Amino acid sequence: MRSDYAKDPTLLPRVFELYEHAWPGMTARAEGVRGWGMRWEVSTPFVACEGTRVVSHVGVLEINLVVAGRPMLVGGIHAVVTHPDHRMRGLSRALMEEALAWCDARYGTLLLTGEPALYDRYGFRSVPEHRFAGNRRGSGGGGLRLLDRKSAADGELLVRLLDARAPVSRRLGIVRDRAIFLFDTALWPLHYAEDLDAVVAYSVKEGTLRLFDVVAQRMPSLDRVLTLVPEPFERLEVYFAPDEISNLAPEPHPLGLDDHLMIRGPWPIDGPAMLPVPARC
C-alpha cells in the first residue's frame, strides 16, 4: 500500500521502528542531522501493516543525476525491509511490485544498490562500477576545517552548497541531493575549504587518500582540492569519475557485496564510472 508521510504524521516513527530491526541506530542517525534540515518525508513509502504496526516497507526517492553530460531524473528504490516475524509471506514482493508499477509511470530508469540475487527477479541488472586510482603524492597541506554537526551555521553552509551544487562528475554525478546526502554522507567527517567554498568528503588510511565527494557550486580543480588535504598520502583513490584527472586508472570495484549498482531501464553510460556515494540510496 502506498502511503504518504504528509497525510499521516504517525507513519514516520512507525516506519523507523521497523528500520531499527534491520539497521539498529537508524533513528538516532536521523535525529543527528535533522537540525541540518534532513527530512525523511521526501521518500514515498509503500508499507504493509499489522494493525498500526508497519511490518514491511519499500521506499522510493527521486534522484537528480547528470549522466553523460545530461540531466536525468531517476527513481531510487531504498530501505527494502520486512520484520523478521513476517518474512516468507510475500509482503516484500507485493510491495516491490506495487512500487515498481508506480515508478514505471513516472521514471524511465530506476536504480538501487543491493545484492543482485535479490533484485534481478524484478528486472534490475547489475552494472559494473570502477573507482579511479593511481600513485599520487601529497605531503600535507592546509585549508580544511572539520564541519561541526552541532553547529547551525555549518548546517546552513552545507545545505547552501547542496542545493546549488555542481555535479561532481559530468559523466555520472548528482545534483539537488540534500535529502540523501544529509541522511547518510553528512554523518561522515566532512571538511570545508573556505578558499574553494567547497565541502570535501575523504579519508586517509595507510598512505591512501580516498576521495568520495566534493560539494561546491562550482566544481574546483581536483588537483587544488588535493593540495589542501593535511594528511600525507602516496596513493589516490577517487570514488567517482574524475573528469579532470586523466592519469588515474579505472579499477573494477564494487563498494560491498550488498552494494552493487543495479539498473532497471535505459542507462546511457558505456565504460568505467561509479555512482557517487550520495546517490547510493
DSSP annotation string for 24-42: TTHHHHHHHHHTTT--GGG
CATH homologous superfamily for 11-128+255-269? Answer: Gcn5-related N-acetyltransferase (GNAT) (3.40.630.30)
Among 120, 74, 72, 73, smallest CA distance to 96 is for 120
Q: What's the topology of domain 131-252?
A: Aminopeptidase (3.40.630)
List per-residue pLDDT tens for the chain, 281 residues long.
888 888 899 999 999 999 999 889 888 877 777 777 767 778 999 999 999 999 999 999 999 999 999 999 999 999 999 999 999 999 999 999 999 999 999 999 999 998 888 999 999 999 999 999 999 989 888 899 999 988 889 999 999 999 999 999 999 999 998 888 887 787 789 999 999 999 999 999 999 999 999 999 999 988 899 999 999 999 999 999 998 777 799 998 866 667 889 999 999 998 899 999 888 87
Dump pLDDT digits (tens) for 257-276: 678 899 999 999 988 999 99
- Quote the pLDDT of residue 254: 67
- The model's pTM is 0.90
The domain limits of the chain are: 11-128+255-269, 131-252
Dump pLDDT digits (tens) for 18-44: 999 988 988 887 777 777 776 777 899
- Quote the pLDDT of residue 181: 87
DSSP state of 2: B
**Does 131-252 match 11-128+255-269 at the fold level?**
yes
* All cell numbers assigned to 47: 508499507
- Quote the pLDDT of residue 256: 65
Among 242, 281, 228, smallest CA distance to 77 is for 281
